[in-house]
Structure formats: structure tokens, C-alpha cells
Chain A
């Protein structure tokens, strides 16, 4: 993380381009990856039954639920981070040794690699969602250009937070073989507080309160709530504040943890 800014941006351009090329070479993979965002749509299907049978649930009707989960499928592609698993694999296989030899920090290598994949997926998904929002009455995002910029910023921060959080977790891998499993537990518990299972507004009060201050909402629910125009000025400021605070916190953990962790690294296969 200590590279000169100019050199780093050149390196990023190269690494992201390489990663985009890899993603394009495995187009089938990307299509399948998109298919894995089935889960939110399945959760949505049940809500549509509830709404049809009982009427709207706490301000969420048919349109709101559909818009929410379609956005969730999109946001998931930006913020679901597999870096802990990739990192764990690299530690076991010894691929980490090669990464350490490169002139760019490992953090940046992973970030750039991830970014390339996201760009390809978004290039496919964004137009689909945009067209859906234009032609369908059930996909509605009542926001203007200014709010869309905020959504964009929130998404970039969400991506950075998700990557930084999973890499901070990945450092555990230098001590324990269970780091990917621990991250699964962390993510799984967080799924209830992030807005992944259901919009936070329909959850019980205590969960909602906890979700406001924990990092998970920043990676799923917050950008979606912005996009649905459900937040007032104070809530928006709070959301960005919490996101930035956690980004700083996990960044700090990584910065402090990395030099200690890498000293424990014993190359496999050397």
C-alpha cells in the first residue's frame, strides 16, 4: 500500500485490463455468476404472495419488493466478495509467493483483479436493470440524477468496504486454516443485518437498530434504500458516515495486520 501514486495508477490500469480480459475469456462463467443471484429473486417471490394475500407489509407493496430485490441482485454482484476464499487458496497452493514477488502490494492486486470482474458483470447487468426500470411499472426507482450520483458513490464505497473487510479477514489465514469458514459465519450472520434476506424495514426493531451501526448494511441495504428513495437527508448522512467509519476501521486492521501476518508466511512448495 506504500507505492507511489503515479506508478500505482498505471499498475491498476494494467491489472484491471488483465482481469477484464480474463473475465471476457470465460463469458460462460460470468453468465453463470449472474445466475447465482437467484436467491434474492426467490425471497422476492414469497413476498409477492404475502402482498397479494395480505396487502402491503410496512410500506412495501408489490412494486417496492420487486424493485428492492432486483436492485439487491445487482448490488450483490458489486459487493459479494470471494477474496477471502481466493486468498485462502493462494496461501495453501503457494500462489501467494508469486503475488509477494510482484512490485504492487497484494491488497492492490486483489482489488484490481476483483474490479475487472465487477466491471464486466456490471456492463451486462446495468443495461438490463435500466431497461427493466424503463419498461416495467413494477421496477421503479424514484430518484433524480443527483441521487443516482449518490447511489454510485455508495456502491463504490460498498465495493471497497466489502473487499477491505474480506481481506482483513483473510489475514487470519496466516494463523489458521479456518479463515474462510470464519468469514462464512461472519457473512451468514451479517446477511440478516445487511438487507440481503429482506429489506431492513420489515425486520423487527432491535435488528434494524443493530443494522444501522454495523458494517453489513453498507454493502447491500444502504445503496438500495438510496436507490428506492426511502432515506431522508439525515439517514443518508448517517449511512455514509457509518460506511466510511467501517472502511477506515477495516483498512486500519489490514494496515496493522498485514506486516505482522506476512512475517508468518511460509511458502508452500518452496
Chain B
């Protein structure tokens, strides 16, 4: 019942966002062309290493393309789902829009974190997954349904972790009264996921695996698709993701409790 209502709201919100952006039709088409360009750019950029080596930190060029593709997909999701909402937090808090949003008969976290969607990068997740598929094919390894299933589970967990991180940033904006630059922090985290964590050596690799969700974003799903993921991850990743979302959600409510409003 409840979830049906939220689903309907989401479809209204997003259709509204899409309609607004589609007013600039030329831009829309141009952005599709740009998406393809940047995908090729990212894939070509990492090819230079393989003039000197067949394998870097245990990854061949084809296997690395899987990670680069997933980076592109996750980064596209960030730009489509998170950036438009995160960047509005400053305005929400400074202009008192948040007061107004809090009075609505729906959950505040839902409306603040999911109200808007950016359509310019809508193709990025599709293109990114396509590049990952090309990488898997070029790596010459077959794909089992089990591998695809594991991949799907791990990718969803990664995206949820990214959402939890974004929600934490949004909540802290209630205290700092500005979300300026927060999207850049998130972009920094995703940017590091351009490479598999094995490329980072020593302590850094541990930090990126355990401390920050970088390994969960691209490395783990890519390994699953290549059929070499650690089976225990299928249990760990979803658990970590759920705990992170719940924790971020509590943090959001804590922030709201200290929120005094802009109009008083």
C-alpha cells in the first residue's frame, strides 16, 4: 500500500524532471553523443599501460574494461540520481524550502533525496554496462547465470552504499547550511573506483576496501562478472549496504531534530 503510493509519487516526480529537461531537445541529443564520446575516452585512456604490460596488478586490458564500464555506469547513476538532489540542499536550507518539504504528508528523506532526477546522463549506466559486457567477452570467459546474479546483487549493494554516503552528506548540510562541494567529495570517491582496488598498494588498498565503499562500487561487481568473486561477499555486501542505509537514515533524522527552520 505505502510502497505503491511512493512508487506512484516517484514516477510523477521523475516524469516531471524529464519533461523539464526535454524542453532543451538539442542539448538532450548532444548529451547522448557526449556520453558515447566519454565512454570511448575512458576505455582508450587506460589502454596506454598495455603497450608496456599484458597484465597490471592481475588485470588484463579486457578485464580492466569491465571495471571502467562499471565506473562509467555508477558515475552516471551518481549524476542522474544524486547530484540533482544533493546540489539542492543549500537552497532547501537557506531559503526555508526544507520547512515546507517537512510539512508534506510524505517521508522527508524520500522527497529530499529522490525528488529530482537528471536526464543528461541517463544513457551512461546503459553504456557502462555494455562496455563491461564487451570486456567480459574480450576476456574470453563465458558468463554463467550465477555470475550475472552475483554481479546484480553486488552492484545493487554498491549503489545503495553510494546512496547512504550521499544521504550522510545531505544530513550534514543541515548543520553546515551548505551542500557546496559535497557532490565533489562523492565524485572523488567514485573517481577512485575508476580502477580495481588491487591497483592501489598497501594500506591504501585496505582503506579503500574496508574504510570507504570504493571496492564495493566497481571492483566486487566486476570480479563477480568475471567469475572470480569471493562467495562470502554475497552475504557481506548486502549486509553492509543495508546497515549503511539504516545508519544514514538515522543520521538524517538526528539532523532534522536539530534543524531549527529558516523562517523563525
Could you tell me which A residues sit within 8 Å of B by CB distance? 26, 28-29, 31-33, 35-36, 38-39, 42-43, 45-50, 53-54, 57-58, 177-178, 181, 184-185, 188, 191-192, 197-198, 202-204
Contact = CB atoms under 8 A, between A and B. Distances in A.
A197 B48 contact: yes
Contact of A35 (B26, B27, B53, B184): B184
Contact of B185 (A32, A54, A177, A204): A32
Interface in B5-51: 24, 26-27, 30-31, 34, 37-38, 41, 44-46, 48-49, 51
B52 A49 contact: no
A52 to B, nearest CB: 8
A50 B46 CA distance: 12
B218 to A, nearest CB: 13
Contacts of B194: 42
Nearest to B198: A49
A26 B38 CA distance: 30
A178 B30 contact: yes
Contacts of A33: 184
Contacts of B53: 50, 53-54
17 contacts: A26-B180, A28-B178, A29-B181, A32-B185, A45-B195, A46-B195, A46-B199, A49-B56, A49-B201, A50-B49, A50-B53, A50-B56, A178-B27, A184-B34, A185-B34, A188-B37, A204-B51
A32 B188 CA distance: 9
A73 B27 CA distance: 31
Nearest to A203: B48
Contacts of A35: 184-185, 188
A181 B34 CA distance: 8
Chain B facing A: main interface SS: helix
A46 B185 contact: no
B52 A202 contact: yes
Contacts of B34: 181, 184-185
Contacts of A48: 201
Interface of B: 24, 26-27, 30-31, 34, 37-38, 41, 44-46, 48-49, 51-53, 55-57, 178, 180-181, 184-185, 187-188, 191-192, 194-195, 199-201
A28 B181 contact: yes
Contact of A38 (B26, B37, B191, B201): B191
Nearest to A56: B52
A135 to B, nearest CB: 19
A43 B44 CA distance: 13
Contacts of A185: 34, 37
Nearest to A182: B30
Nearest to A28: B181
Contacts of A204: 51
A188 B37 CA distance: 8
Contacts of B201: 48-49
Contacts of B199: 45-46, 49
Chain A facing B: main interface SS: helix
A36 B188 contact: yes
Nearest to B184: A32
Nearest to B24: A177
Contact of A28 (B31, B38, B49, B180): B180
A32 B169 CA distance: 14
Contacts of B30: 178, 181
Given A178-B26, A178-B30, A188 B38 contact: yes
B26 A177 contact: yes
B20 to A, nearest CB: 15
A46 B46 CA distance: 9
Given A26-B180, A29-B180, A177-B26, A47 B192 contact: no
A125 B34 CA distance: 32
Contacts of B195: 42, 45-46
A118 to B, nearest CB: 18
Contacts of B45: 43, 191-192, 197
B26 A54 contact: no
Nearest to A53: B53
Nearest to B204: A45
Given A50-B53, A184-B37, A192-B45, 15 more contacts: A29-B181, A38-B188, A42-B191, A45-B195, A48-B201, A53-B55, A54-B53, A57-B52, A58-B52, A181-B30, A181-B31, A185-B37, A188-B37, A202-B51, A202-B52
B52 A50 contact: yes
A58 B200 CA distance: 23
Contacts of B180: 26, 28-29
Contacts of A53: 53, 55-57
B130 to A, nearest CB: 19
Contacts of A47: 49
